[in-house]
Structures are given as structure tokens and as C-alpha cells.
């Protein structure tokens, strides 16, 4: 990878961290509110919180993190596929935590660590991939 590509990737990682960090804090807050204040089951709260953050995350990542000029319809479809898998991962992690009768906040921690790594890789190389110029 040449220095320009490394610099571009580093910039994406920093912006991804800013968007992802904000999103993770909002996800944790929403999940906590839905469980502790609204009495929702942790697995359902995980899914609801995740779904509420999908549209703002797409816009932030498309325009800020990756600076994509690609078609919204194509990219949003790919984004939904990735996040459908991530919702499954987050809800599955929360289900395992719940089944083990551990505090649901361990499920939030699991999602905060596992999901961002997977999301960055797939969004950078598939969802918002910029085709090389010829």
C-alpha cells in the first residue's frame, strides 16, 4: 500500500472512530433506557436501539467517514445487509449474555467491541468501496 493510500485509510479510521464512538454511546444509552427505564427485554432493546441508529449511521458514514459519491440506493442496500448481520451478532451476543444470566451491560460491551471491527472492514472494502480509476 502506498503512502497516499495509508493516509487515506488512516483518515477513514479516525472518522469511523468518531462516528462509531458516538453511535456506540448512543446505542448504550438507548439500550439502557429501554431496559432499565422502559422495562424492555435486553435482546429486544438491543434490536430497537440498533434500528433507531441505522439511518443516521448510514448518512454519517457515507458522507463523513468515507466521503462516498456512490448511488444511495446501491450503498444503502449493502449497508442494510451488513447491519442486518450485525444486528444478528449484537442480538445473539445479548441472548448468550442473558441466557448465562449475566448483566445485560456485558452484551452492550460485546457489541461495542465486535461490531465496529467487522463494520469498518466490510464498509471500506464493499459498501463504500471506490473503484480504482482507469
**Domain contains 15:** yes
Mean pLDDT for all residues in the chain: 91
**Domain contains 110:** yes
At 129, give phi and psi (nearest 5°).
Answer: -65, 130
**Domain contains 30:** yes
**Domain contains 86:** yes
Taking 80 as the threshold, does the pLDDT of residue 124 lie above it? yes
Taking 90 as the threshold, does the pLDDT of residue 74 lie above it? yes
Taking 90 as the threshold, does the pLDDT of residue 134 lie above it? no
Taking 90 as the threshold, does the pLDDT of residue 89 lie above it? no
**Domain contains 134:** no
Counted domains in the chain: 1
**Domain contains 132:** no
**Domain contains 133:** no
Average pLDDT over every residue of 13-32 = 93
Taking 90 as the threshold, does the pLDDT of residue 5 lie above it? no
**Domain contains 62:** yes
Tell me the C-alpha distance between 129 and 52, whole Å: 25
Secondary structure of the chain: what % helix, strand, coil (to 5)?
80, 0, 20
Domain with 97 in it: 3-127
Question: Dihedral angle at the C-alpha atoms of 36, 40, 44, 49, nearest 10 degrees?
Answer: -50
Amino acid at each position: 500500500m502506498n503512502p497516499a493510500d495509508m493516509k487515506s485509510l488512516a483518515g477513514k479510521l479516525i472518522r469511523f472512530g468518531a462516528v462509531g464512538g458516538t453511535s456506540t454511546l448512543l446505542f448504550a444509552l438507548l439500550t439502557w433506557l429501554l431496559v432499565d427505564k422502559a422495562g424492555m427485554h435486553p435482546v429486544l432493546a438491543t434490536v430497537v436501539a440498533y434500528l433507531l441508529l441505522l439511518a443516521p449511521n448510514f448518512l454519517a458514514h457515507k458522507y463523513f467517514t468515507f466521503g462516498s459519491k456512490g448511488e444511495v440506493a446501491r450503498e444503502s442496500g449493502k449497508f442494510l445487509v451488513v447491519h442486518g448481520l450485525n444486528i444478528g451478532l449484537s442480538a445473539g451476543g445479548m441472548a448468550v449474555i442473558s441466557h448465562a444470566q449475566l448483566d445485560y451491560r456485558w452484551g452492550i460491551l460485546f457489541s461495542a467491541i465486535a461490531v465496529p471491527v467487522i463494520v469498518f472492514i466490510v464498509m471500506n472494502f464493499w459498501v463504500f468501496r471506490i473503484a480504482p480509476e482507469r
